[in-house]
Amino acid sequence: MIEFEYWQLLLFPLFFVLGWAAARIDIKHLVRESRALPRSYFQGLNFLLNEQPDKAIEAFIEVVKVDPQTVELHFALGNLFRRRGETERAIRMHQNLIERVDLSPELKLQALSELGQDFLKAGLLDRAEEVFSRLRGTSRDEEAKRNLLEIYQQEKDWQKAIAIAKEMPDYATQKEIANYYCELAAGEMINSRPDSARQYLDSALSLHRNCVRASVLQGDLLQQAGDLAAAIEAWKRIESQNPAYLAIVARKLQDAYLAQGQRDEGLQLLRGYLASYPSLDLLETVFQLVMDAEGPEAAYRLVRDELRRNPTLLGLDRLLEAQLLGVPPEKRADLELVRNLVHNHTRRLARYRCDNCGFKARHFYWRCPACGGWETYPPRRTEEFDLIP
């Protein structure tokens, strides 16, 4: 048991006095600092608390004019201007920081990086590229490389994009670099340079063997050269890479089989794909092919069986279309009314959706227009996401 001495009671008033003195010192220091701040600073805070951001910005600008040493406030205002789309004001703010002789080297690098972001937001890609190139080899090298990669993609300078992406294996994936090679190959094909296009596609597949886009373009290249059998094999390779993309080459495959006089073989292949890998786009292609080759009754049976496996409104739309061709004229009006109602409703379901950001579009993209992700648009319609894991 701890013994208690009465003289220890004298320590409590002493501790109280010391605490009170320390608090007084802190309060006096705080009061001195608050008195040193311009009145505009408190006005700006008041405007922010009252949800008046425009007036708050003007008040903080006045603070910057009165006290140019407020570096943090310069950065905060510059970033705020950029987010609000006022890029000219953001550029001026960050340029003023860079020109200050009393700024530390690290803060100058930060200001330079912010200036590059301003140029990027304003669409001044050449000036942004110049700024981020100056940051290479500094403490902000990784940040500079990421921004330069984005600039090269926007400028479609794929050679530079490949070079800098290879320096960032933890940031740029092999799938992305393979798509840069595919972009180069597509450009060579447009300019009738098949040999260089073939080299780019070989590079894409050696880097990323499951690059569906490279297989699609290889098939196109072989088809242009008249080697239909090899083109078919290139397109069929997609089944082992990612069967969800078979719908993209379904019509190409059938055209190649038709050109070789093998229509039935082509249709049988596509029927097998549809049975193994259900897809509304694939169903659309096979439906039209069966309609042309075997007539509306066979097309009707195809869609009916598919609806039993995977009930969708888009499939129902095709079923009604097939039925319309086989009903008597006196019953066609009512069926057309039902089909039109279903068709109008399915228009909003007939969209592709990015796996990465959820952006929806009527057309298929290899690169999402919203988030910039590569191959994040599987060729599945919106309605299919609720049916297929």
The model's pLDDT over 75-91, given as tens digits with 9 standing for 90+, comes to 777 777 788 788 888 88
Strand partners, 352: 361, 381
Q: Provide the domain count of the chain.
A: 1
The pLDDT, as a whole number, for residue 12 is 43
The per-residue pLDDT for 243 is 92
Mean pLDDT for all residues in the chain = 79
Dump pLDDT digits (tens) for 157-205: 999 999 999 999 888 899 999 999 999 999 999 999 999 999 999 999 9
Q: What is the CATH number of the domain that holds 109?
A: 1.25.40.10
The per-residue pLDDT for 174 is: 92
Q: How confident is the model at residue 368 (pLDDT cuts 50, 70, 90)?
A: confident
Q: Judge whether 286 lies within some domain.
A: no
In a domain, 131, yes or no: yes
Q: Which two tokens stand for residue 199?
A: 């080299």
For residue 310, is it within any domain? no
Residue 88 lies in a domain: yes
User: What confidence score (pLDDT) does residue 193 get?
Assistant: 95
- 29-48 residue pLDDT tens: 434 444 444 454 444 445 44
Of 274 and 96, the structure prediction assigns the larger pLDDT to 274
| Cα dihedral value 143, 147, 148, 153, nearest 10 | 150
**223 vs 220: CA distance, rounded Å:** 5
Reported as a pLDDT band with limits 50, 70 and 90, residue 151 is: very high
Query: For residue 296, which amino acid is it?
Result: P
Per-residue model confidence (pLDDT) at position 378: 76
Range with the poorest average pLDDT among 88-97, 215-224, 266-275: 88-97
Binding residue numbers: 354, 357, 368, 371
Phi, psi of 108 (to 5 degrees): -65, -40
Instruction: Give, to the nearest 10 degrees, the angle between helix 71-83 and helix 87-99.
Output: 160
Count of residues in the chain: 389
Could you tell me what percent of the chain has a pLDDT over 70? 72
Concatenating the DSSP letter of every residue in 139-163 gives: TTHHHHHHHHHHHHHHHT-HHHHHH
Across the range 144-167, mean pLDDT stands at: 94
Each residue's pLDDT tens digit, 320-360: 777 677 666 766 676 676 666 666 666 665 577 888 888 88
Does a structural domain hold residue 175? no
Highest mean pLDDT among 57-61, 101-105, 169-173, 297-301: 169-173
Q: How confident is the model at residue 307 (pLDDT cuts 50, 70, 90)?
A: confident
Q: Do 78 and 94 form a contact (C-beta atoms < 8 A)?
A: yes
CA–CA dist 154, 157 (Å, integer): 8
How sure is the predictor about 133, in pLDDT bands with cuts at 50, 70 and 90? very high
Q: Which residues are annotated as a binding site for Fe cation?
A: 354, 357, 368, 371
Write down the H helix ranges in 100-236. Answer: 105-122, 125-134, 141-155, 158-165, 174-190, 194-207, 212-224, 228-236
Residue at 119 is within a domain: yes
The pLDDT score that the predictor gives to residue 270 is: 93
Average pLDDT estimate for 119-132: 93
The residue range of the domain holding 124 is: 68-167
pLDDT at 220: 96
Taking the CB of residue 185, how many other CB atoms lie within 10 A of it? 28
| Residue 137, in any domain of the structure | yes
Q: What is the pLDDT of residues 200-238, one digit of tens each?
A: 999 999 999 999 999 999 999 999 999 999 999 999 999
* Contact present, 131 and 114 (Cβ < 8 Å): no
pLDDT number for residue 54: 57
- Looking at residue 36, its pLDDT comes to 46
d(CA 157, CA 141): 20
Report yes or no on 144 lying in a domain.
yes
Is the Cβ–Cβ distance between 382 and 361 less than 8 Å? no
Question: H or E segment at 332?
Answer: helix 329-346
pLDDT of residue 347: 64
DSSP annotation of 387: T
- The per-residue b/e assignment along 214-245, b for 16 or more CB within 10 angstroms, e otherwise, is bbbbbbbbbbeeeebebbbebbbbbbebbebb
